[in-house]
Amino acid sequence: MMVSTMFGQAAHPMRTTTITVSQDGQGDCRTVGDALTLAAETRLQRRDAHLPITIFIHPGTYRERVTVTLPYVTLEGVDAASTVIALGLGARMPADDGTPLGTFRTYTMLVDADHVTLRGLSIVNDAGDGREVGQAIALYADGDGLLVEDCRLLGHQDTLFTGPLPPKELQPGGFIGPKQFAPRKVGRQWYRRCLIAGDVDFIFGGATALFEDCEIRSLDRGEEVNGYVTAASTPEGRPYGYVFRDCRFTSDSCAPGSVYLGRPWRDFARVALVDCELGEHIRSEGWWDWGKPQARDGSRFSGVGLFGPGFAPECWPDWTLPDDPAGPAWYAPRHVLDTAEENPDEDGGESSWS
């Protein structure tokens, strides 16, 4: 697809350099962090700040915190089952100064660069139940042109954060972390054929993000309300927030009707589900306003072509759109990822921007 040329390394495929990571010492580096350092050094040596680099990671469980600040980098594993990057930090755990880490310092991986690709990896925060350890981010994704393919993003509460942060925190110190004072740049992110698992608000943030052919798995907490899939904070005026196309909303063992599709983290949240299957764990009303009557006017929660035992359009609140009149063309990948705002083509054709 032409739309993919805005993502990853497509701009200079012939110049790609590969760095290998293997825990047995048979690669260029033993850790992913060391490979990223070598990637930066390689670019300096070649005097090419945009040299595309692939970091190929051999099977193993790498217990390390990974921070990606280089653009045009691909992190690729053999497959998500065998190539795992994991850590276990929770928001209630102490930082070096003794204060709680807070949500945004718990990540296992931070992507803070544009045109990054993640492929064939499991990115895991295994801190445990959020009721005990607090929020625990597996992937903190904050960049434009991010492509995540064939990956597993695993956690409990707040598994995937799609930056940017909202303009202001609701409580003092709520955004302490690597992007607390950074400009709020809305990036485009594309998740394909991924498994994303968690319980409370486990896909949250302000990015324009397209999820295609993904499994969105809710974990059982044994409560009447087991959780919420999304907590979008789409900036005011953006045409798209989260768009799920051809996704399957599943659960491990959640009781029927115990999981909401989402709630608005901020008042202009936008979440659309297109041709998705909703399991019986999804509550019949679908969405909750989080006790924010004002968010009913500013948010847009919608569906197109939904099916499955968890879809009950007659029960959706009157401030949602179970049969979105915008139709499927408005949510075609080219329009979502190009952030087109006017007159999407009927055929949902491919993007010509590169």
Cβ pair 271, 236 in contact under 8 A: no
Question: Is 201 a catalytic site residue?
Answer: yes
DSSP string, 24-89: TS-SSBSSHHHHHHHHHHHHHHHT-TT--EEEEE-SEEEES-EEE--SSEEEEES-TTTEEEEE--
Sign of the CA dihedral running 250, 252, 255, 260? negative
Cβ pair 78, 58 in contact under 8 A: yes
- Sequence-distant (≥ 6) Cβ neighbours of residue 218 within 8 angstroms: 197, 198, 199, 202, 226, 227, 229, 249, 250, 251, 252, 254, 259, 281
The whole-angstrom distance between residue 235's C-alpha and the CA centroid of its chain comes to 16
Q: For residue 6, which of 116, 110, 162 has the smallest C-alpha distance?
A: 116
Rg, Å, the chain Cα set: 20
**In the 8-state DSSP scheme, what is residue 165?**
P
Q: For residue 166, which of 266, 237, 33, 26 has the smallest C-alpha distance?
A: 266
Amino acid (1-letter code) at residue 260:
Y
Q: Which of 142, 144, 158, 201 is catalytic?
A: 201
**Rounded Cα–Cα distance for residues 284 and 276 (Å):** 15
Active-site residue numbers? Answer: 201
